[in-house]
Structure 1
Amino acid sequence: MKNNNIMGYLKYTQYVYIIIALFFTYDAIMKLNEGDESYPFYFVIAGMSAFMFFFRRRFINKHNNRNKNQ
């Protein structure tokens, strides 16, 4: 029962990563237009957040498929 609660929580937290990626992409574009030299750092964070979104999504799908097979 406890495992289902954790997976329910993780199912929704994956979307936090995509929100963070969108925010940092927007912030990087704003910094790029302003001429701020720190914009590559924001693109890196956005890329890592997007990667984490897809990684979490795949992990949750794997877990759900494993539970269906049992």
Structure 2
Amino acid sequence: MGYLKYTQFIYIAFALFFAYDGIMKLNEGDESYPFYFVIAGMAIFMFFFRRRFLKKYDNHNKKQ
């Protein structure tokens, strides 16, 4: 389960990509830009959710 420590950072990469793409769409005048910001927000939420879950998982394994 060591790979779970690194997979949470994939969400940050997705958030950066979609935020950048949303800014580009906003500057172009495309009407679909809010969708990209929502996806970026969800990716940031998932980063913190996975981080919290991993800490709970590690603390549970230390108790056993």
Query: TM-score, normalising length from structure 1?
Result: 0.87
Deviation, structure 1 residue 54: 0.5
Q: Which runs of 5+ in 2 are unaligned?
A: none
What stretches of structure 1 move > 3 A for 4+ residues in a row? none
Q: 2:55 aligns to what? A: 61
Identify which of 7, 15, 20 aligns with 2:9: 15
Deviation, structure 1 residue 67: 1.2
How many residue pairs get aligned? The number is 64
Percent identity, aligned pairs only, is: 78
Q: Distance in 1 between matches of 2:32 and 2:2?
A: 37
Task: For 1:41-60, list aligned pairs within 5 A.
Answer: 41-60=35-54
Residues 21-41 of structure 1: CA distance to partner in whole angstroms, max 9, x if unpaired? 011001101110110000000
Identify which of 29, 33, 40 aligns with 2:27: 33
Q: Distance in 1 between matches of 2:2 and 2:29?
A: 42
CA-based RMSD? 0.7
Query: TM-score, normalising length from structure 2?
Result: 0.94
Q: 1:3 aligns to what? A: none
